[in-house]
Amino acid sequence: MRSLEPSLFSPYENAFLPAETLSSYAFSLCGGPCAGLFRIENGEMLKGLVRCCINASIPYRVLGGMTNILVSDEGYDGVILLNRKGSVSHTIGEEGSILLKADSGAGMAAAVRYCIENEISGLEWAAGLPGTVGGAVCGNAGAFGSDIAKIFFRGEILDEKGTLQTIQKADMNFDYRSSSLKHQQNKHVLCNAVFRLEKGQKEQILAEGEANKEKRKSTQPVDRHSLGSVFKNPEGESAGKLIQAAGLKGFSIGKAEVSMIHANFITTQKGVKSADYHNLVIHVQKTVYEQFGILLEPEIEMLGFGVK
């Protein structure tokens, strides 16, 4: 792991946390060390630190809730910008539509709450979705037939030179659990996003959100640690059904286990190693391939495991 002088990050040097262990921050409970970490407080700090890293040629990654990324036990030899704070606001757009603006560090839960309080409809599908706005846009998160691509209007990103740019939906190349942000492997950092939503009725928005949360509770291991769906659904198939049919429900390696509630979830316990999780991913892939000839493609991101 490289050793970094805090003064490289002026004026944020006092917030520098050297050699942090990522398992303390990851929802999977695993992940090795990083060269340094900052807990981002606001958009200015995010921009400032991205620019510091670019200017000093230090590798960096912006992470949100860490609910969709598995970092290896060897960790990440660079700076982690942990972006978990931000605000949400709205304005009225053309033809009465509502433009919801959220900082990338805002939690999706906070955005959903804001919509309920302000009678804004269009984000009900995201009730119960963990993580931040930045992570959701990057992975084009979706549920119950909707996704970020359907509501994204525009956003601001920092490009690889640290220049702030406005991007439109067409620039995002949204696809199934993917976007241009994902393809560019964090070279572009989302600062904020604007979603086009509409006026709704509080009771209805609340009821739909609650119903979606209940559906999650009855079909997913929501009270356990996990990274959500591990594999993408192959065309016309369900990854969970294939894994279940392969007899893998309950199969475990170390402290990582294929969930008994939903076979496309791997749940983890305190003390789990990233290698346990990773080896289980490979075992599931291999078993499903041997039995059904279908190669499952990971939906989660894996950082620091070499060739995937």
Nearer Cβ to ligand FAD (33/139): 139
Based on C-alpha coordinates, what's the Rg of the chain?
20
Residue 299 annotated as catalytic: yes
Q: Which stretch binds ligand FAD (CB under 6 A): 91-99, 183-191, 243-251, 267-275?
A: 183-191
- CA 174 to chain CA mean position, Å: 15
- Contact in structure between 50 and 158 (CB atoms under 8 Å): yes
**Quick check: 256 binds ligand FAD (CB under 6 A)?**
no
Q: DSSP class of residue 241?
A: H
Nearer Cβ to ligand FAD (59/247): 59
Residue 177 annotated as catalytic: yes
Rounded to an integer, what distance in angstroms lies between the CA atom of residue 210 and that of residue 216?
10
- The single residue among 52, 66, 197, 239 that binds ligand FAD, judged by CB under 6 A, is 66
Residue 179 annotated as catalytic: no
Active-site entry in 23, 229, 259, 274: 229
Within 13 A of 26's CA, how many CA atoms are on the CB side? 33
- The secondary structure of 148-217 as a DSSP string is HHHHEEEEEEE-TTS-EEEEEGGGG--BTTB-HHHHTTTSSEEEEEEEEEEE--HHHHHHHHHHHHHHHH
Rounded to an integer, what distance in angstroms lies between the CA atom of residue 53 and that of residue 189?
12
**Quick check: 302 binds ligand FAD (CB under 6 A)?**
no
Q: Dig out the tokens for 41 from the structure.
A: 């407080």
Nearer Cβ to ligand FAD (80/284): 80
**Quick check: 245 binds ligand FAD (CB under 6 A)?**
no
Least Cβ distance, residue 291 to ligand FAD (angstroms): 26
CA quadruple 138, 139, 140, 143: dihedral sign: negative
Least Cβ distance, residue 59 to ligand FAD (angstroms): 12
**Quick check: 139 binds ligand FAD (CB under 6 A)?**
yes
**Quick check: 209 binds ligand FAD (CB under 6 A)?**
no
Least Cβ distance, residue 103 to ligand FAD (angstroms): 9
Interface contacts to ligand FAD, rule CB under 6 A: 27, 61-69, 83, 104, 129-132, 134-136, 138-139, 141-143, 177, 181, 186, 189-190, 220, 222, 226-228, 301
Which residues are tagged catalytic? 177, 229, 299
